């Protein structure tokens, strides 16, 4: 578990604000791992061992584990257990439901899986998100402006005088503080960071879209950083699938190191 102060310390210690995304897909991991009793966990374990000094967070994409049913959830549990407590453990699950149900999701991720942070989908409004902020020491990371084309459909539509994603940020800021609330902000739209920093100057932003999704790190830093850095920049596929044979951990490390070096120049 990492609070805000500790997260910032780790960023400066490691000279990195990299989050490695574990989108671990049985059809993409090196073939030799399929002989292991738990291929997805073996893959994650190897990637974590190869990158843990270069990143400050892991983001576990629940979809890739759920595709494998209850065995996938078991691999996911083992992965959360394996990550050391000085690294932020993010469950990228985009949950959100009526209060009664959101309480169960909070229990699932914060209590059972022992994630530090959970991504949340805001469509159903503030009362659907509130239960996640009742767990001291845990983070809710709310979808604001995502990096996909479909973000134009609703997120970037005007509601009154502001964009929907702006309203989401404004409303959600009533539920938590920069100590337990972050936002997902797509890196493909750097100029919009300015708008977002207006509403959330102190919050950490989780930025996907570096690497396979094509975002640009220096633009993200230029527009998105705050006095405490305030950024977790995620790369998933470009790191974890950098290689696909016996030497895949070396390839992954090389790719993570490249990003970490780029980041260190900004710190």
Among 10, 44, 146, 260, binds a copy of itself (CB under 8 A): 146
Q: Looking only at residues 179 through 218 of this chain, which bind a copy of itself when binding is defined by CB under 8 A?
A: 213
Q: Which of 14, 52, 94, 189 is catalytic?
A: 94
Is-catalytic flag, 94?
Answer: yes
Exposed / middle / buried, residue 158 (Cβ in 10 Å: 0-12, 13-18, 19+)? exposed
Q: Looking only at residues 214 through 253 of this chain, which bind a copy of itself when binding is defined by CB under 8 A?
A: none
Using the contact rule CB under 8 A, the part of the chain among 5-13, 49-57, 149-157, 241-249 near a copy of itself is 149-157
Could you write out the DSSP letters of every residue in the chain? ---HHHHHHHHHHHT--EEEEE---TTTS-GGGGGSSSHHHHHHHHHHHHHTTT-SEEEEEHHHHHTTHHHHHHHHHHHHHHS-TTSEEEEEEEE--SHHHHHHHHIIIIIIS--SEEEE--TT-HHHHGGGGGSTT-EEEEEEE-SSGGGGTTTTSEETTEEHHHHHHHHHTTT--TTTEEEEE-TT-TTHHHHHHHH-SSSEEEE--BSTT-B-HHHHHHHH-BTTB-EEEEE-HHHHTS--STTHHHHHHHHHHHHHHHHHTT-
Among 85, 157, 218, 264, binds a copy of itself (CB under 8 A): 157
70 binds a copy of itself per the rule CB under 8 A: yes
- Nearer residue to a copy of itself within complex by CB, 124 or 195: 124
Using the contact rule CB under 8 A, the part of the chain among 2-10, 41-49, 159-167, 218-226 near a copy of itself is 159-167
13 binds a copy of itself per the rule CB under 8 A: no
Q: Looking only at residues 84 through 123 of this chain, which bind a copy of itself when binding is defined by CB under 8 A?
A: 94-102, 104-105, 107-109, 111-113, 121-123
Among 25, 36, 202, 228, binds a copy of itself (CB under 8 A): 25
Number of residues forming the site for a copy of itself (CB under 8 A): 62
Give the catalytic positions in this structure. 94
Q: What does the binding site for a copy of itself look like in residue numbers (CB under 8 A)?
A: 23, 25, 61, 63-64, 66-74, 76-77, 94-102, 104-105, 107-109, 111-113, 121-129, 143, 146-155, 157-160, 164, 167-168, 171, 213
């Amino acid at each position: 578990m990492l609070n805000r102060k500790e997260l910032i310390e780790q960023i400066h210690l490691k000279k990195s604000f990299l989050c490695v995304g574990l989108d671990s897909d049985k059809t993409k991991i090196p073939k030799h791992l399929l002989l292991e009793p738990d291929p997805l966990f073996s893959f994650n374990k190897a990637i974590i061992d190869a990158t843990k000094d270069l990143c400050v967070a892991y983001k576990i994409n629940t979809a890739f584990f759920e595709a494998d049913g209850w065995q996938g959830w078991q691999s996911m549990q083992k992965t959360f257990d394996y990550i050391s407590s000085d690294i932020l453990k993010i469950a990228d699950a985009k949950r959100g439901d009526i209060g009664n149900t959101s309480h169960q999701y909070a229990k699932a991720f914060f209590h059972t899986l022992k994630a530090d942070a959970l991504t949340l989908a805001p469509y159903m409004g503030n009362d659907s998100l509130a239960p996640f902020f009742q767990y001291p020491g845990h983070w809710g990371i709310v979808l604001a402006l995502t990096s996909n084309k479909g973000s134009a459909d609703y997120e970037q539509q005007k509601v009154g005088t502001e964009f929907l994603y702006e309203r989401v940020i404004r409303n959600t800021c009533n539920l938590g503080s920069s100590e337990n609330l972050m936002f997902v902000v797509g890196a493909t739209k750097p100029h919009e960071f300015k708008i977002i920093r207006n509403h959330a100057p102190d919050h950490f932003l989780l930025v996907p879209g570096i690497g396979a999704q094509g975002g640009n790190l220096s633009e993200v830093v230029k527009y998105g950083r705050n006095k405490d850095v305030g950024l977790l920049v995620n790369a998933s596929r470009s790191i974890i699938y950098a290689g696909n044979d016996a030497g895949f951990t070396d390839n992954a490390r090389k790719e993570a190191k490249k990003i970490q070096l780029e980041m260190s120049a900004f710190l």
